[in-house]
Amino acid sequence: MNKGKYIVIEGPEGVGKTTQIELIAKELKKANLSYKIMREPDSQNDVTARAIRRLTQDPRYPMNTKTEVLLYNAARSQSLDFINQCLNQGIICLVDRSYLTTLAIQYYARNDIDDYKKINEIIDFAVGDNQPDLTIVLDASVDILMDRVKNRYQGDRFDNLSSDFLERVRAGYLIESKKRNLPVIYAVDDKQHVFSQIWELVKPIISSDELHSQSKSIASSVADIISTKASEILEMQAHDIIEKESPKEIKKSDLSELITDIKGNVYAFTHKLDQVTIAAAMARLSRRGDDMRHIISEEFLENIGKDEDLLKRVISAYGDDSVQQLAGQHLVIENASNLLTKKLERGRLAAYLEQSTRYIYYDKKNNDGTYKYYVPENLKDEVKQKYIEITDIIFDTYSNIVHKLTTYIENNSNTPKEKRGIAWKNAIKAQACDAARMVLPASTTSTVGIFASGQALESLIMRLQSDRLLEAKKVGNEILVNCRKTLPTFLERADIPDRGGAIIAYKYNTNESLRHLTSKILPSAYSMENTPVSLSDIWPINEIDLVPDMLYENSSLSLKEIRHEVMAWTYDKKVEVFNTYIGKRLNRRHKPGRALEKAHYSFDILCDYGIFRDLQRHRMVDDMEWQDLSPRYGYDCPEIIDQSGLSDLYETCFDLSLKLYSLMQESGYQLESQYATLMGHRMRWKVTMNARELFHFIELRTSPQGHSGYRKIAKEMHELVFERHPIIANAMIFTNKGEDAELNRLAAEEYTQYKLDNLKN
């Protein structure tokens, strides 16, 4: 294997380095050459470089220029290790920036270090013999640079963007280029003309055999876009369109319009009978031995919609919390931040649906000229102004990324032109949204739909009202006010002092006391543990101990007696029972019996917030808790972002996020600072599942149409279970253990479109 090439594009901010690297990459791709785009110091691929970068970008750690020089070169040394690994694998490394940046900014522009020789000694110590095969310096006048970067936010990478500062930066690059005999290209013409000059310098570095090798398409598949869940949503929406009917007038003397069968043993209630009346009739059923149809006819039919007191009396006399489970409510929360959506969806016994950042562009502003994000109401004016300023720039950058990414995917699609219909466009859009959403902040708002029983609704209200977050408290109050208009009987006690009020106070006071105690008795430092998934607890230790529970239902013995019998059996006999209980599963929806619910697995997970948002939707789990969001655990750059040359814009969003997060922390808004974190930031959370639920979770979340991020998490969970409970893990036969391959999601999107088209006919 030929050794790769190390090519650096240098120059001041705004000179067009990212654009030119993207064009070089495009030519390399045509020649079927392996390449990697990176930014030096490489915070994407090296955890140490990433930690140093976060330190240098965080205003809470003020540092002088000498410290910056040392830190950047420490990160540079780490970065070069990764670059060398790539070069040894024959990969061409296209690198934005090098040690020239340190000289241009820290020496020439800052102008507070006189020892030029010492800085070069530090650089030489960090770099050693790892010199680029080619370094090209791009140049442009300061007025052009200022115009190009005027809408960018640079944070701490430059102290300011004054013309004097940029003049010194530019001069530093030009002086060092002359000293080191580096080519300089004046980058003011159109980008293709500039590229043609750059390419003439790059071509000799790469062998002619490599450049003229047969081109092969390596475009990312657009088929890994539309999830099964998205298809189900589209189908459901279409179903709703044809199911709506105009309600008919109720004939009070006739039950046939209230129930589906007036004679059979099984019947359902129609929409003509309201849920509160149904719940009251069911409560009355507990004290009467009649057919329920008689109860409705005799006690409720003539009073439907008239006597609310009757319903209250019946529910008070014959039911309590259990009756609240018999009536439900659909409700919608608009403009909920992503922090709030997770709090809304935390309850196990309700159904939720929200707008997906994976399928919708968030590039448009509202009618009032604002992007779709939440601004905490309790921020001081100066903090609020900075919050809005920085968040707007993040959304501007997101919009830039998502549209450039859409164009990139379209231009590199393998789909024949005759098949590029609506389904193809939807798939393209979804892939771009999926990658770009990682730079959206937790303040991003969406609409959440909820269906909950009266009991689950009351629990949701009390949970929100006891929360520390002001947004949650406010929405909890609004839900109570609005749902009392439709289910007043079931929400009477939600806020009275001796019932709901006492529960709210208990929840809030307990959580506050525990939070303060935790801060006293545990270290406040962030964990250095970076394992994506760890199995923190497991029960039972030996999976064979489940055999007696598997035999219990078909036996007449007590569990104690069955255990005594099983103790004397051979291992093979126990395994035979185990495998027989699992049975011959033909698809992942064939779930083994409930004896497996006795086994439990607790996982501690470190993944990005976007993955958590997908996995948090699983309801039949225990012990699901998550820690406050923070930028401290870093982030990853999606491969498609790297391939499309958008990594610089991508990283800019994370720099902005850290800046805003730190500002809010310093201003005393520790809780609200979470709004500044991005979906691509990693977070810590934990969950406990029984083995039966784990079958569903792992086999669903490793399926080929799933998101690559959570597929990796689910596969690691499966591997950890296999190490401890191999029989159970092997029974999960529909776990996709293979590497990510070209997925067939475009076909799924086309099928969805086919069904929608047929509904119109």
Q: Cα 250 to chain center, whole Å?
A: 47
**Domain end (from 196, 211, 226):** 211
Rounded mean pLDDT, 505-520: 91
Question: Which pLDDT belongs to residue 534?
Answer: 96
Residue 247 falls within a domain, yes or no?
no
Overall domain count for the chain = 4
Q: Which token pair is 370?
A: 């604002």
Q: 472: domain CATH number?
A: 3.30.1360.170
Residue 672 falls within a domain, yes or no?
no
Supply the DSSP symbol for 270: -
**Cross-strand bridge partners of residue 136:** 9
Is the pLDDT assigned to residue 431 strictly greater than 50? yes
Percentage of the chain exceeding pLDDT 90? 48
Query: Looking at 238-247, 273-282, 340-349, 491-500, which range is the least confident one?
Result: 238-247
Rounded mean pLDDT, 41-56: 76
E strand spans, 56-117: 92-96
Question: Which pLDDT belongs to residue 253?
Answer: 45
Query: Looking at 138-147, 469-478, 565-574, which range is the least confident one?
Result: 138-147
Q: Map tokens 């013309």 to a residue.
A: 163
Q: Which token pair is 577?
A: 């029972």
Residues 459 and 596 grouped into a single domain: no
> Does 429 or 358 have the greater pLDDT score?
429
Contact yes or no for 21/147 (Cβ under 8 A):
no
Residues 481 and 611 grouped into a single domain: no
Residues 397 and 340 grouped into a single domain: yes
Percentage of the chain exceeding pLDDT 70? 83
Residues 436 and 448 grouped into a single domain: yes
Helix (H, G, I), strand (E, B) or coil at 182: coil
Question: Which pLDDT belongs to residue 290?
Answer: 61
**Confidence label for 233 from pLDDT (cuts 50, 70 and 90):** very low
Supply the DSSP symbol for 495: S
Is the pLDDT assigned to residue 526 strictly greater than 60? yes
> Does 718 or 266 have the greater pLDDT score?
718
d(CA 397, CA 152): 9
Residues 96 and 150 grouped into a single domain: yes
Residue 74 falls within a domain, yes or no?
yes
Q: Map tokens 């140049």 to a residue.
A: 139
d(CA 71, CA 93): 23
Residues 265 and 148 grouped into a single domain: no
Residue 526 falls within a domain, yes or no?
no
Is the pLDDT assigned to residue 582 strictly greater than 90? yes
Rounded mean pLDDT, 499-528: 88
Contact yes or no for 753/421 (Cβ under 8 A):
yes
Is the pLDDT assigned to residue 244 strictly greater than 60? no
**Confidence label for 230 from pLDDT (cuts 50, 70 and 90):** very low
pTM for the structure as a whole: 0.69
Residues 479 and 540 grouped into a single domain: no
Rounded mean pLDDT, 191-198: 92
Q: Which amino acid is present at 240?
A: D
Supply the DSSP symbol for 11: -
Question: Which pLDDT belongs to residue 429?
Answer: 85
> Does 251 or 704 have the greater pLDDT score?
704
**In 3D, which of 587, 610, 613 has the Cα closest to residue 695?**
587
Contact yes or no for 54/682 (Cβ under 8 A):
no
Q: 234 φ, ψ to 5°?
A: -60, -40
When computed from its CA atoms, the radius of gyration of the chain, rounded to whole angstroms, is 31
How does strand 350-354 pair with strand 445-453? Answer: antiparallel
Question: Which pLDDT belongs to residue 213?
Answer: 47
Query: Looking at 176-180, 289-293, 663-667, which range is the least confident one?
Result: 289-293
Contact yes or no for 453/326 (Cβ under 8 A):
yes
d(CA 495, CA 503): 9
Question: Which pLDDT belongs to residue 567?
Answer: 95
Residue 119 class from Cβ within 10 Å (0-12 exposed, 13-18 middle, 19+ buried)?
A: buried
d(CA 547, CA 598): 11
Rounded mean pLDDT, 434-442: 93
d(CA 38, CA 94): 6
d(CA 532, CA 615): 14
Question: Which pLDDT belongs to residue 556?
Answer: 95
Residue 655 falls within a domain, yes or no?
no
Question: Which pLDDT belongs to residue 705?
Answer: 74
Q: Which token pair is 38?
A: 């990176």
**Confidence label for 441 from pLDDT (cuts 50, 70 and 90):** very high
Residues 292 and 369 grouped into a single domain: no
Rounded mean pLDDT, 650-679: 96
Residues 505 and 541 grouped into a single domain: no
d(CA 32, CA 54): 35
**Domain end (from 521, 545, 572):** 521
**Confidence label for 287 from pLDDT (cuts 50, 70 and 90):** low
Domain that holds residue 401: 329-521
Question: Which pLDDT belongs to residue 706?
Answer: 76
Residues 129 and 108 grouped into a single domain: yes
CB atoms within 10 A of CB 410: 17
**Confidence label for 356 from pLDDT (cuts 50, 70 and 90):** confident
d(CA 300, CA 422): 52
Residue 248 falls within a domain, yes or no?
no
DSSP-assigned states of every residue in 404-440: HHHHHHHHT--S-GGG-SHHHHHHHHHHHHHHHGGGS
Q: Map tokens 């999107």 to a residue.
A: 749
Residues 344 and 318 grouped into a single domain: no
d(CA 328, CA 599): 33
> Does 105 or 230 have the greater pLDDT score?
105
Rounded mean pLDDT, 679-702: 95
Question: Which pLDDT belongs to residue 604?
Answer: 96
Average pLDDT across the chain, whole number? 83
Residues 6+ apart with CB under 8 A from 26: none
Is the pLDDT assigned to residue 305 strictly greater than 80? no
**Confidence label for 52 from pLDDT (cuts 50, 70 and 90):** confident
> Does 221 or 121 have the greater pLDDT score?
121
d(CA 356, CA 500): 33
Four-point Cα dihedral 353, 356, 362, 364, nearest 10: -50
Question: Which pLDDT belongs to residue 361?
Answer: 87
Question: Which pLDDT belongs to residue 723?
Answer: 95
Residues 412 and 545 grouped into a single domain: no
d(CA 730, CA 714): 15
Is the pLDDT assigned to residue 596 strictly greater than 90? yes
Q: Is the peptide bond before 204 cis (omega within 30 degrees of 0)?
A: no
H/E/C letters for each residue in 94-106?
A: EEECCHHHHHHHH
* H or E element at residue 107: none
Contact yes or no for 385/376 (Cβ under 8 A):
no
Residue 695 falls within a domain, yes or no?
yes
E strand spans, 142-245: 184-186
For the stretch 537-562, pLDDT in tens is 999 999 999 999 999 999 999 999 99
* H or E element at residue 373: none
Is the pLDDT assigned to residue 473 strictly greater than 90? yes
**Domain end (from 293, 308, 326):** 326
Residue 480 falls within a domain, yes or no?
yes
How does strand 600-608 pair with strand 35-39? Answer: unpaired
**Cross-strand bridge partners of residue 350:** 452
Question: Which pLDDT belongs to residue 568?
Answer: 95
Is the pLDDT assigned to residue 754 strictly greater than 70? no
Query: Looking at 120-124, 317-321, 624-628, which range is the least confident one?
Result: 317-321
Supply the DSSP symbol for 273: S
For residue 521, give Cα distances in angstroms to 184, 513, 515: 58, 12, 10
Helix (H, G, I), strand (E, B) or coil at 655: helix
Do you know the residue count of the chain? 761
Q: Is the peptide bond before 41 cis (omega within 30 degrees of 0)?
A: yes
Question: Which pLDDT belongs to residue 726?
Answer: 96
